[in-house]
Amino acid sequence: MNVTLHVWRQPHRAAKGRFVTYPAPDISADMSFLEMLDVVNERLILEGQEPIAFDHDCREGICGTCGMVINGTPHGPKKRTTTCQLHMRSFRDGDELWIEPWRAAAFPVVKDLVVDRSAFDRIIAVGGFISAPIGSAPDANSLPIRKENADLSMDGAACIGCGACVAACPNASAMLFVAAKVTHLGVLPQGLPERNERAIRMVTQMDAEGFGSCTNHGECHAVCPKGIPLEFIGRLNADFLAASMGSGRRAAQVGDSAGG
């Protein structure tokens, strides 16, 4: 395949960025999108040019490190697919591809397609944990958990923290990300002690980092590679409201959390 790339180049955070056009001839349709960028970068290096900076790690869709906006859509045109799992066969010979970094004030550009997502780390640091007694591991199955709650928790745990939800949202809201974390921990008995403080702390930190509010556009769910459901945002709102009204802990405990 022959494709033409228009890539956002920005040497550093304070620099003014711009699109630069690169031809990408003789690309195999079986290459992943990142392998295609690797080939383009090898050619740039041979020509003495600066390679395109982009984030990646596992290249298996599990770490959340990769991410770029391809033709206006975070992670590109294929549903439920991270950038690293996208293949060139999703495009046609002769296509023009516009490649940009996540655009959000809370995710400043570091270089080219790399953004600083440490705001997510700080949100996790204030509430994305459980308190567990130290000592030997408890016996398996000593704490019964309803199947529905185990499934819900696993669905929340599927979030890889990529940030595509923020990049897609017109408000640059991080609500889907926070909702996934709050649901992952809050529906299990192990996550109950901090359930309400968790919602308050994580939402407060999200606001402090400069993410916008949720106004129910649903773009986050549409681009999420793990299909985190919008319903989780309702769960986050319920936890936040219960905690804000001062009856939160009791509401959480008598709700749907523990195993019975």
In the complex, the residues that contact ligand SF4 under the rule CB under 6 A are 159-165, 176-177, 180, 224-226, 228
Q: Is 48 helix (H, G, I), strand (E, B) or coil?
A: coil
Between residue 157 and residue 216, which ones bind ligand FES under the rule CB under 6 A? 160
Say whether residue 32 binds ligand FES (CB under 6 A): no
Question: Per-residue contact track with ligand FES, 61 to 80, x per CB under 6 A?
Answer: xxxxxx--------------
- Judged by beta carbon distances under 5 to 8 A according to partner kind, the member of ligand SF4, ligand FES, none in contact with residue 163 is ligand SF4
As given in the structure block, the two tokens for residue 63 are: 């770490």
- Reported as half-sphere exposure (CB side, CA atoms, 13 A), residue 83 has a value of 28
84 binds ligand FES (CB under 6 A): yes
Whose CA is closest to 192, among 160, 148, 145, 151? 145
Site for ligand FES contains 82 (CB under 6 A) = yes
DSSP state of 19: E
Contact 38, 98 (CB under 8 A): no
Helices (H), the chain: 33-46, 118-127, 147-157, 164-168, 175-186, 195-208, 219-223, 231-244, 248-254
Q: How far is the CB of 108 from ligand SF4 (least distance, A)?
A: 17
**Shortest Cβ 75–ligand FES spacing (Å):** 9
165 binds, options ligand SF4, ligand FES, none, Cβ within 5 to 8 A by partner type: ligand SF4
Nearer to ligand FES, 10 or 32 (CB): 32
